[in-house]
Amino acid sequence: MPHTNRKSLKIFIRRAYDDPTQEDDYRVLVDRVWPRGRSKETLKLDEWVRELAPGTELRKWFGHDPQRWEAFQQRYRSELDSEEMQARMRQLLSDAGGRPITLVYGARDEEHNQAIVLRDVLLHLSGG
């Protein structure tokens, strides 16, 4: 990522059901399925990276059960550790061009969702 200032990368997390804010810049939907009842115009997305969302089997197993949170994080990080996923995350960082990234997700649970894990992995990957 030659044109990004890695140390100052900012990644925000927003629910798909919350309106975009002024600090949102590069908005990316990180769900495998489209958020019910939300339009493209409402979400104001720059990108939808469904392939970076947890696999269907993992997503269904987790079911946003807080008691499965620790295991979910480990399993999801394992999915993100593949060469293909690493390349896709580097592409996402490159596509953002150093702008702040807002990861958009549809889950109700604001403390136990894939966007939190993905943010941490992206920050680590970017050196931030």
pLDDT in tens, 61-91: 999 999 999 999 999 999 999 999 999 999 9
Q: What is the pLDDT of residue 7?
A: 56
Model pTM score: 0.91
Residues 6+ apart with CB under 8 A from 55: 32, 79
pLDDT, averaged across the chain:
92
Q: For the residues 35-49, what does the mean pLDDT come to?
A: 95
Q: Are residues 5 and 98 in contact, defined by beta-carbon separation less than 8 angstroms?
A: yes
Q: What is the pLDDT of residue 127?
A: 85
Residue boundaries of the structural domains of the chain: 6-49+63-126
pLDDT in tens, 105-118: 999 999 999 999 99
Distance CA 101, CA 13 (A): 8
